[in-house]
Each structure stands twice: as structure tokens, then as C-alpha cells.
Amino acid sequence: MDWLFGQGKTRRLSVAVAFLVLLDALIIRAADPPALARLRDVAFDTYQQLKPRVPADDMPVRIVDIDEAALAEYGQWPWPRTLVADLVEKLEQKGAAVIAFDVIFAEPDRSSIGRIVKTLPLDKEQAREMHRLVEKLPDNDEVLAAAIRAAPVITGFGFDRKAGTAPPRLFAGVAHSSGERDAREVPKLIAEFIPQQAGAVKTIDVLEAAAKGNGSVTPDVSSSVVRRVPMLFRLAGQRNEDLFPALAAETLRVVQGASTYLVRWSGAQAFRSFGERTGVGEIRVGDVAIGTDSHGRVILYDSGHLPSRFVSARDVLNGTVPTDKLEAHIVFIGTSAIGLQDVRATPIAAAMPGVEIHAQIVEQVLSQVTLQRPDYADGAEFLYLAAIGLLFVLLLPRLSAGRMFLVAAGLIGIAILVPWLAFERAHLLFDPIYPPVTLAAIYVGGSAISFMRTERERREIRRAFALYLSPGQVDLVARNPAALQLGGRQHEITVMFTDVRGFTTISEQFDPAGLTRFMNRFLTPMTDLIQARSGTIDKYMGDAIMAFWNAPFDIERHAARACEAALAMQSHLVTLNAEWAAEAEAEGRRHIPVAIGIGVNTGQATVGNFGSQQRLTYSCLGDEVNLASRLEGQCKTYSVGIVVGENTQRAIPDFATLELDLILVKGKTTPIRMYALLGDTLVAGNVAYRRLVERQAEFLALYRSAAFAEALLAIEPCVAAAEALGWRQGYYDMMRARVDGLIDESPPDWNGVYVAKEK
């Protein structure tokens, strides 16, 4: 391939490749396929996750939640309409400014007495008597209608392509401001830009007629994530001029006492469009302007789920909710109960109650903190891409690789930073993905020949060292051959030592080939578990493993990663033992269960290449490394599976750990505290774990104060607490024997520190 890497040919080929990448990128951007739009949406979701909307504390929006507590108190949904009427009346008494139902009452109440009577097996005389009694009782729907009529209530309807086309009731008209456009063009604009639905599911007439408004509870789900909510809809089979409002829009109308929606189209005053038909510019309702995209949709600026928005329907019905939580507030009635399945995914929340989306839209509009993607965004992004891409192509053969990289990094950085600043400071949405990705593709494509030459050299290095170094070390050497020099650096790491208990006895049952297979089956998954959590294998020492974290690369939460690996290794060993037991039974030999001890410690160590000019090993040295080895040795003494040092324990406050002892290990002059690692955050949240920690603290206090008789009695509560947690190891048997011995022969200089007799 030397012909490909000639100096002149490389330069010309680089320019040609870069120009083709730019041309393809511009064609794709002009077509703007759905996949590209989805990519932008994901980027905008990330923006909201980095900086979600923060509602003001005085936002007058509340959600009365038909939650699990309310369902437990008043029974499953749907409730009798008389109970819903009671809810409406209590909200009205609390001074709610408007009450909007994120619920569709699509059928008459089946629990009304009149409907129940029809299902009873009565003879004619009984039926006549029962009907006379029923006629004197109010129908449940009429009771709810009366409550709705007396309060500022908005009913809900939904869209469903399988439903009928009977239109929901309209309570307000829609006016249009099209500016320089002929008014006759408005119907065309409506047909082009306002989303149409195939069918509607509406609230029954008696309730709908009693309400002050009627709004759609169906958000626009163009994907699995709700990102935009239309404020107006068309319905198939109805006039285009009959536009149906969203629940949020209707809520804003009713709370202001407005009677009309004003749609301001592009070309109207303050919405110049230079002769282009770009759709809706804004929707006004009363004194409030609703900023929308061209299709009349509000872009959801997600705050995430906020419990402070919610008031349980149970508290409203039993009268325990404070008046100031509802007085003069916009109140939505909906549900967060999982069983009712009204949950949606939003840019921030994987599962948010649908009613909270309506509440967020109202909050956005009232605070005027909304997201906008300007009409000119597509054109601006295209022109920017064309200009900067062409500059790339022209500079590529004229600048050195280093300078070209700096130029590329600078322009790509600007393409990422400017959209973020536009979002953060002006709430404008510009694509932060496609332009910088395209620029990177142009740079990489134009530099592909040089990359190919460099990669060929790296492959040679990898091939030479892959058999001697770990994959991470091979990559390090390939990027930086100078790393092969002798030397180290001081760095905080977490070190792990593991050892198989009774390995000599286990190995005696195998021939050399069988022992090799056994060790491979043990070491391979254990190595995978360590490396899957970013650990570096230092060395294998027969049946033992030494590994460390946070070198050669920095790793966040390296102590936690090491502890996760230790727990996973002990868990996987259970599976391996089951497999080995089955194999031993099939082969007619005795199975010896395999147990391992794991010691983990965190601290400063010297990390680097050690050895000689002829042979190197990447390893770690230092007192904290030695301590990790000593801790692993104490697993056998204290009959526990995982022992961690004090530094590690402090670095994993959310894990379940248990102080074992204050011990002076071999080679140390200062006692250290050591801890058993019992489990992860799930175990740490267990009440039984907290009880065990309390009992253990009481035991250790007695033990260290030389109150050995009392300490012996304190062991039994510890054992009971450990059993309740499911922690069944031999620690307390060992400590019982030790305390027994101390009772018989108490050392005169006892200071609560145990001096280790073994490494």
C-alpha cells in the first residue's frame, strides 16, 4: 500500500475525501430525515437533563392526585361519581381558581342506583316498587353535573383513531391573525400545520354541558417520549375552522375568563416570515401568550417529577389539606397510581404521571420560561455547516496535522458551546450534534490516510506486546511508547488481593490437566468481573489474584468499583460451586467447596513500570498495598469473605460494612480498623443491617473496655441480628472463642487492640 501514502497523493486524496464528506452531509441536512430530527431531540433532552426548568416556589399550580393512598382509602378507580362530586365541591370550597380533569368520563356511572336496579332479578311487582324508590334518588352523574356546574370545572376528552368522530363540545372560538396574508389562506394554513386526529373519546353530555371548558388530555406522542404538546387540534370529519384545545390551553382560558383563542400565523405583526409559509407563530389566550412551534405545539421544558406539585385526593376528601395549598390555584385532577397506567416518558423522567405534563405546560406559560426552536434554525445550521465545512476542506492540505487538529477542535467546540449558551441563556434550541459531528467527520475523513498510516504502526506495537501486557496497558503503550521507561508516580488507588482457602487440599483431587482446567474456570470469570468494573489485573500468584483500580487511568468511585467486583466474585463463586458439585457427583468423587478470601484497601501507592531494562511489569508498591494483602489474610482468621480497610470503608458510605476489630497486622506499628463488606446499597438500606451495626457497636465497646463477660453475652444479639440479615459467616464463633479465652486469661495490658499472629 505504499502507493497510497505518497506525499502528493495523500494530500489530494485527503481533500477529495473531505469534500465528499461535506457534500454528503449537506445533502442529508437539506433532506432532514426523521432519524436526524430524533438525534436533535435526544440532544435537546440532554440539555434539559443538564439544566432542567426550575419552577418558582409561588407557582399557582397543583395536582390533586388519585394516588395509591386515595385508592386504598376510597376503593379502586373509577370511583362513584358522587365521590368525585364531593371532591369537586371540596376543591371549590378551598377556593380553587379552576379545576381541570385529566380524566375522561366516557360512560355513565355504572354504580348509579338506577343502573344497578336494572341488573337485579326482580319480578314485575318488585321491579315497579324498586323503580318508584329509585325515581326519588338522584342519578350519580346528575350529582356530579351539579357539582361541576357550581364550580370552574374543565372536563377532558381524548383522541383515539379507533374511537368515533362525534366532536367534543367547544366552549371558545378561534380567531386568526395572518397579517399580510389573505384571510382566505388561513384554512390552508390550518390544514397544513394544525395536527389532525382521527377520532375522539369525549366526556358524557350531561357532565360536558355543565362544565366551563373542555380540553384534550392526549399529549402528542410522536415518539415514546413526550417532548411537544399541541395546543390546538383538528378532528377528522369536522370543519377545519373548528379547533379543539388542549387541556392546558383550555385551563389558561377559563382561569382568565377569556372566550377566544387568537392564532398568530407567520407573516403577522412581529412574526415576519419573508414571504415564507412557516406556520404558527404564537397562540394568545386572554392576556397570556403561548409560544409554540410552527404546528402550534409547546416544547416541554421539563422540570422532572416534583412531589411538591401534588396533593393527595385523600387529603382533599378528608379535609386535612391546608387551604393555602389550593386557594387561588389552578388545580388538575389526575393520577400517579401505576395501575391506572397514565404514565409518560419525558426528556428527564422515564415515567411521569400524564397529568404532570399538563401542569408543567401551564407553569411554563405563566412564567414565560419556554423553549423555542426558531424558524430560521434549519437555515442557519445549514449555512454554518457549509461555510465552516468548506473552510475545513481548504485548510486541510495547508496546515500541519497539529495545527489542523487545533482548528478542528476549536470550531467543533464552538459548534457545541454556542447551542448550549443559546439554550442556557435564551432558551433557544439549535442542533449541537449534527454540525460538530459533521465537522469531525470531515476532519477524520480528510485525515484518514494519515490515520491509516498511524494505525498500521500501532498494530505492530500491539502485536508485539499483546501477549505480555493487559489490554489497557497495550493501548497505553501504543499511544505513548515512552511509557515503557522505568519509573512510577504517587497516586491513590484501591488494591484487591484474593486467595482460595485450602487450595492445596482442593488441588490434590486433580491431575495436572484437571487442575489447569479448574484454575482456568475459576480465574477467567473472576478476571472478567474485575475488568468489567474497570480493574487492572496486576498478577496471578497460583490461585491468588492481585488487582487494582484508578491506574493507569483515573476511575471515578474506584473504591466502590472494587467493592462491587468483590461482591460479584463472591456471588459468582456460589454458581461455580454448584457446577463443580454436580460434576464431582457425576464423576464419583468428593466435592470440596471452594471459598475465597478478598482483602480490599484504598490509599496512596507508587504506581508504574518496575523491573529492569530487560523486562518490565506495571504494578503498585507501598504500605497501603501491603495492608490490602494483610487484610485478605485476616479473612481466614475472622472467618469472613471480604475484609476492607478503613480508607475503603470511608470511601463507600452507601455500602453495607461492619466493623470487625481494631488490629495490629504484621509489618505495621499502628493499629487499623478493619471491616467486613456485607453488601451493596440495597443491603445498606435494610433495617436488619442497621440493627446489626448497633448490636456490633455495643459488643465492640464492651470487648475493647475489657468487659469480657458482658461482651460474651452481647454476642448472641449480634448473631440474631446477623441471622435476620442473612449474613451467615463464622465471625461470631471465632469472637466467642476469643472472648472465652480472654475471660480465662485476661492480659494485664489489654487496650482493645488484637495483635495478628498471621499475615
Number of helical H runs and strand E runs in the chain: 26, 27
Q: Which residues pair with 755 in a beta bridge?
A: 664
Phi, then psi, of 269 in degrees rounded to 5: -55, 135
pLDDT at 273: 47
Q: Which letter does DSSP use for residue 580 in this model?
A: H
70 plus 115 within the same structural domain: yes
Q: Is the peptide bond before 432 cis (omega within 30 degrees of 0)?
A: no
Length of the chain: 759
418 plus 305 within the same structural domain: no
392 plus 285 within the same structural domain: no
Q: What share of the chain is helix, strand, coil (3-state, %, to 5)?
A: 50, 20, 30
144 plus 207 within the same structural domain: yes
pLDDT at 1: 40
Q: Which of 628, 652, 676 is the endpoint of a domain?
A: 652
501 plus 592 within the same structural domain: yes
Q: What DSSP line would sit under 90-153, residue for residue?
A: HHHHTT-SEEEESS---S--TTSHHHHHHTS---HHHHHHHHHHHHTSPPHHHHHHHHHHTTTE
CATH number at residue 495: 3.30.70.1230
For residue 358, tell me if it sits in a domain: yes
Measuring CA to CA, which residue among 147, 154, 73, 82 is closest to residue 111?
82
Measuring CA to CA, which residue among 132, 445, 154, 424 is closest to residue 301?
424
Amino acid identity at 368: Q
27 plus 83 within the same structural domain: no
For residue 751, tell me if it sits in a domain: no
408 plus 294 within the same structural domain: no
Structural domain tally of the chain?
A: 3
557 plus 436 within the same structural domain: no
In which residue are the cell numbers 467486583 written? 565
For residue 332, tell me if it sits in a domain: yes
For residue 690, tell me if it sits in a domain: no
For residue 716, tell me if it sits in a domain: no
pLDDT at 684: 94
pLDDT < 50 stretches in the chain:
1-7, 273-275, 464-469
Within 10 angstroms of residue 39's Cβ, the number of other Cβ atoms is 15
pTM of the model: 0.57
Give helix 708-725 / helix 731-744 axis angle, nearest 10°.
170
Grid cell locating 53 = 426548568
18 plus 65 within the same structural domain: no
548 plus 610 within the same structural domain: yes
pLDDT at 275: 44
For residue 667, tell me if it sits in a domain: no
Q: Is 438 helix (H, G, I), strand (E, B) or coil?
A: helix
328 plus 391 within the same structural domain: no
Q: Which residues pair with 540 in a beta bridge?
A: 545
pLDDT at 467: 41
For residue 722, tell me if it sits in a domain: no
Measuring CA to CA, which residue among 330, 172, 148 is closest to residue 244?
172
Q: Which of 604, 630, 652 is the endpoint of a domain?
A: 652
| Residues spanned by the domain of 543 | 480-652
pLDDT at 147: 95
For residue 31, tell me if it sits in a domain: yes
356 plus 399 within the same structural domain: no
